[in-house]
Amino acid sequence: MKKSIKPFIIGTVVGSLLTISSVTFADTGIQAIKALLNKDLKVTVNGSAAKLDNPAITYDGKTYVYLKDISKLVGAQVNWNAKSKTVELKVDPSVLPTKPQTIATYKDNAITGSVTDKEFAKYKAFMSIINTQTEQMLSDASYKEQFMHEYIGYKILYAKYGAKPLSKEQQASFDSNLAGFLSELKTYVKQNANIQATVDKVGLTDADIKVYYTMLIQVPLAMENEVTEDELKAEFKKTQANYNMVTVRHILVGTNPLDTGGVQRTDAEALERANKVRKLLVEGGDWALLAKEYSEDPGSSGNGGLYENQQSNGWVAEFKDAANTQPVGEIGQPVKTSFGYHVIKVEKRDTKSYEQLTSQEALAIRSAIAKASFDTFMSKELPGKITKLDMSKA
């Protein structure tokens, strides 16, 4: 090509002809160019063959098509304004992607941000994939608003805690779980045409998925890491009885036909039967025989009603309270739970100190403190940090 070639404008074909980029070459801008006019190039739009007015150009391993040809294919008008040196395109607005609209804004001290309709659509799609009930629940306006609140809350907390380092063990576990999650999710989406269509429609990318996953997993971990030793000790002190190791014997007189082999008892009948059992035990009755005859607890009726060295926190509240407070060696008054009436004898009770907590028990306390802090933020603090919310566009 000679220097005197007229200016021309070309668009790079990247995957789809609907994606347009343009480059303007002025007379003085190019001294020489090695290009191949490709007359045999085949073009399709949405699967249908299309004809170009001008041959394509192959240069430096890339294929270029005249902008006028691309514009014609996608229904646009193109004009070169020589005076302003501007490429003027006129396109039907209905075929252009809509501009993202801000539907929520928030401010938490130095943390400010917003949520657009397109961003929220991506998050909804992500959550609908990992929880199939989400889409149905989002049809309820009140739940959708609650869902938005939660998303904003996570965004604020992630801005606070997302950059905080995890422990080596936590980071290694997170990286491994993330890789596995992404692999399984890709496979799942590919195998479900409807889900794939939703993903494509909202433009949910691997990068989006990684951000959402990281936000949902790292926020709780980082909040747990912020819990201090003093907070752990204080929480343990409040709930120390939950960690008692208790040995009890009990006989259950049930009220639920599902638990009593089809026997229907009123509350009064069950209590009367429980008092009868207690009287027999106080008078020296044999636990093994009486448990086998009267108890409707399948887990202990065959061994004299015995639960040995159990952590009291694993029992229902009323039973746990009796196990933690009833005098050792005494047969207490019948205790009512959702299962029926229990006649209980505490045979041994050992308390546990803070220093005796296992690593898993300490982690459970740490998680409980972090969750309480998270719940407080979401329910009491977050509403005052949302400065704009328009769910009509969500």
Query: Does 222 lie in the same domain as 150?
Result: yes
Q: If you average pLDDT over every residue of the chain, what do you get?
A: 86
Residue 22's pLDDT band (boundaries 50, 70, 90)?
very low
The span from the CA of 36 to the CA of 221, in Å, is: 57
Domain tally, the chain: 3
Please tell me the predicted confidence (pLDDT) of residue 10.
35
Residue 256's pLDDT band (boundaries 50, 70, 90)?
confident
Residue bearing the bigger pLDDT, 155 or 57: 155
Average pLDDT over residues 259-275: 83
- 251: helix, strand or coil: strand
Please tell me the predicted confidence (pLDDT) of residue 6.
35
What's the whole-model pTM score?
0.67
Q: Domain range spanning residue 260?
A: 245-350
Average pLDDT over residues 347-357: 95
Our CA dihedral for 17, 23, 26, 29, rounded to 10 degrees, sits at -130
Q: Is residue 118 part of a domain?
A: yes
Query: Does 119 lie in the same domain as 86?
Result: no
The span from the CA of 53 to the CA of 70, in Å, is: 10
Judge whether residue 275 has pLDDT over 50: yes
> Which pLDDT tens digit goes with each residue over 294-340?
999 999 999 999 999 999 999 999 999 999 999 999 999 999 999 99
Q: Is residue 234 part of a domain?
A: no
Query: Does 316 lie in the same domain as 224?
Result: no
CB contact at 8 A, 349 and 244:
yes
Domain termination site, one of 44, 73, 95: 95
> Which pLDDT tens digit goes with each residue over 92-122?
777 666 789 999 999 999 999 999 999 999 9
